[in-house]
Chains A and B, each alone.
Chain A
Amino acid sequence: MDDDGFDDYVQARLGKWSRVAYLLAGDHHAAEDLLQNALFKLALQWRKARIDAPDAYIRKILYHEHVSRWRRSHHLRSEYLTDRMPEPATGRDMAADTIRRVLLHQALEKLTRKQRAVIVLRFFEDLSEPDAAAALGVSIGTVKSQTSRALARLREVAPELHVLVKETREVPA
């Protein structure tokens, strides 16, 4: 089947977009779902419209899909499912990096979807504010305010990462 390079594009970029999807979704099942939906949408457009910048296109779909999925309120009190808890560091040495990763994983869960998206866009993908704004379809001002709010929230929910997040370059105003 002639797919005009769609398969080649996916094979080349699957690793990158898998990583982004995982950071956005937080678990493998949801990440796979998110990525599959985004690639399906891309596939439908691939032959209809010439897509000059598939990365930007799929980024837009991924983030939009991530932000627009609503779930029931995360504020339900006393929600404490043990299968979501990190493995306790029992006796065995948990490398410092592993602990920090677990803490970050937990802290990201406590951000809003939009906050999580700006963190991934700005600090993982390393996008500029205008590019992040374009990906999310919002103004640069919104990216700025969401970023500072997300960093504040990370400090609040993960005081253990406080030093870390504080020393991260803050987004210049």
Chain B
Amino acid sequence: MTDLKELLDGLADEAPRYDVLARVHDRKRRRVRTRRLAGVGAVAVLAVAGVQVLGLPHLAPSADHTGGLPNRLGGCEAQRLPVPGGATHGSMVTAGDPTGRHLAGKKLGDHGHDRLLIWDDGLPREVAVDGEVPFFNDITTSGVAVATSIIGDRLASWIYRDGALVRLPGTNARAQVVNDSGAVAGTQDERPVVWRDPAQPPTALAIPAGATGFVADIGPDGTVAGGITDARGSHPYQWRPDGTGEELQMPDVLAGQKIVGIRVSVLSGDWIIGGVVAEVEGRTTVLGVRWSRTTGQSSWWHSPELPHVYGGGGVGAGTLESDDGPRPEPGEREYAQSSNAFRVSGDGSTRMLPTASGAVLVRGQPAAGFSAISDDGTVIAGHQMFARPGSQDLIPGAVRWLCR
């Protein structure tokens, strides 16, 4: 019987000798670190994508690494969200509703003993759940939410309604999205499933033979948006309430081009919104795409990078790839003096996002992780990194961006 050790050995066999000695000596000789601001890289990336750059930050190079960066920029303000009892190990937003009023997330604890949190208009409250590493995956306008946790070595899924968490039946099934009527969709063994009735085990959504599937959102009528992955790659997909499914076609402009990856984010009204990364004439191109659920027609716009998440109105938020200058020495950090976090609208206009007071930006690292955007694009949520009090460690902190 093969054991884990043998398997790891087998995997390690894929590694060649990485001949890095010459480069190590070269770095030793140079040792003068070239500091290139993340903002410089940002301009280059935006230019390649052919996007009009609006309001790139212009920052004094003397900005301190904490507190020196603007928390207002381009019509948006970044605010660190409060956490009851403080958060020694950090906090993060993991989901939000289409209005931006309800944000769901967690306060991190020792060894996975995290506590679930819901912020209502910025005011937090804790939600107790059994199990470790709890995680809110989605929350609706009326405050219905779904979460997962690990109990023993099993994944447990939960629906949160009227102040109570109720465990959903099903083995190893992951509840990922929920609508206001409490219909839940998720995955079980990489197959999409729905809980039409939270008291009953989930039922599978049809996928083509040999494919796997994932879900991204569920509409008020029970339509599920998501995707399938088969031998050709990944494709956006929708499952109608009657159980039939169909693939959403790529925009014509991408006909014959290599699709590198897709992200399906949200279903809003007649629209399913996501992003596509493609190779067009040898260049990586990122498009935001809006598909009509009824006609299958799509419209698209340029994006500087694939946003982490899209809102129902087509606004996306993400981070620009950093420049590829020399990395800081291990054990040391170089602080970035401008943010690489951006907000892209459905017309392709892009602006940089501000930094919450006290957040630490590390060169070469994303300035933020985004998990939720309201339909109107005025509320964006996720996390940035902050110094743990009295230590050099960085911990995540829940952050909300309010935009005009």
Complex Cα spacing A78 to B187, Å: 11
B3, B8, B14, B327 pick with most chain A CB within 10 angstroms: B8
Residues of B within 8 A of A145 (CB): 111
**When the two chains form their complex, are residues B261 and A83 in contact, meaning their CB atoms are under 8 A apart?**
yes
Bound CA span A41–B259, Å: 39
CB-contact partner of B11 in A85, A104, A151, under 8 A: A104
In angstroms, Cα B308 to Cα A78, docked, is 10
Assess whether A31 is interfacial by the CB under 8 Å rule. Answer: yes
**In whole Å, how far is B134's beta carbon from the nearest beta carbon of chain A?**
12
Smallest CB gap from B225: residue in A: A78
Chain B residues with CB under 8 Å of A31's CB are: 15, 18
| Number of A-B pairs, beta carbon distance below 8 Å | 198
B19 touches A14 (CB 8 A): yes
Q: Which of A7, A18, A124, A164 contacts B9 (CB 8 A)?
A: A124
Contact B330 A65 (CB under 8 A): yes
A50 CB-CB contact with B under 8 Å: no
In the complex, whether A133 has a CB less than 8 A from a CB of chain B is no
Give the complex CA separation of A81 and B308 in angstroms. Answer: 12
Contact at B23–A36, with CB atoms within 8 Å? yes
Nearest Cβ on chain B to A44's Cβ, whole angstroms: 7
> Would you call A82 and B260 a contact (CB within 8 A)?
yes
The answer to whether the Cβ of A43 comes within 8 Å of any Cβ in the partner chain is yes
Q: Is A15 an interface residue (CB 8 A)?
A: yes
A45 to B176: give the CA distance in the assembly, Å: 48
B231 to A88, Cβ gap below 8 A?
A: yes
Does more than half of chain A's interface fall in helix, strand or loop, or is it mixed?
A: helix
B234 beta carbon closer than 8 Å to chain A: yes
Question: In A72-91, which residues have CB < 8 Å from any B CB?
Answer: 72-73, 75-85, 88, 90
Given A23-B11, A31-B15, verify A39-B172 contact (CB < 8 Å): no
Q: Is the CB of A159 closer than 8 A to any CB of chain B?
A: yes
Give Cα A21–Cα B111 distance, bound, in whole angstroms.
25
The range of chain B's interface size is 35 or more
Contact among B5, B111, B264 with A78 in the assembled complex (CB-CB below 8 Å)? B264
Query: Is there contact, CB below 8 Å, between B330 and A64?
Result: yes
Stretch at the interface among B63-71, B344-352, B364-372: B364-372
CB distance from B113 to the nearest CB of A (A): 11
B24 touches A73 (CB 8 A): no
Among A18, A72, A101, A169, the most chain B Cβ lie within 10 Å of the Cβ of A72
- Minimum Cβ distance to chain A for residue B399 (Å): 12
Query: Contacts A36-B20, A78-B227 known; A164 to B369 CB distance under 8 Å?
Result: no
Please name all residues of chain A whose beta carbon is closer than 8 Å to the beta carbon of B370 when the two chains form the complex: 76
Contact with B along A6-32 (1 / 0, CB 8 A): 010011001100111111000010011
Q: Does A55 contact B (CB under 8 A)?
A: no
**Hey, which chain B residues are within 8 Å of A35, CB to CB?**
18, 20
Known: A81-B277, A167-B1. A10 touches B308 (CB 8 A): no
Separation in Å of the B24 CB from the closest CB of chain A? 5
Listed by A's residue number, 22 A-B pairs whose Cβ atoms lie within 8 Å are A14-B19, A18-B18, A22-B15, A23-B15, A39-B20, A40-B27, A40-B330, A61-B330, A64-B330, A65-B330, A69-B365, A70-B396, A73-B92, A73-B383, A77-B138, A81-B262, A84-B261, A85-B233, A124-B5, A151-B153, A152-B150, A152-B153
With contacts A31-B18, A40-B27, A149-B112 known, what are 18 further pairs, Cβ within 8 A? A14-B19, A21-B15, A23-B11, A36-B24, A37-B330, A44-B28, A61-B330, A72-B308, A73-B92, A78-B263, A78-B274, A85-B233, A85-B234, A90-B231, A100-B10, A124-B5, A124-B8, A164-B1
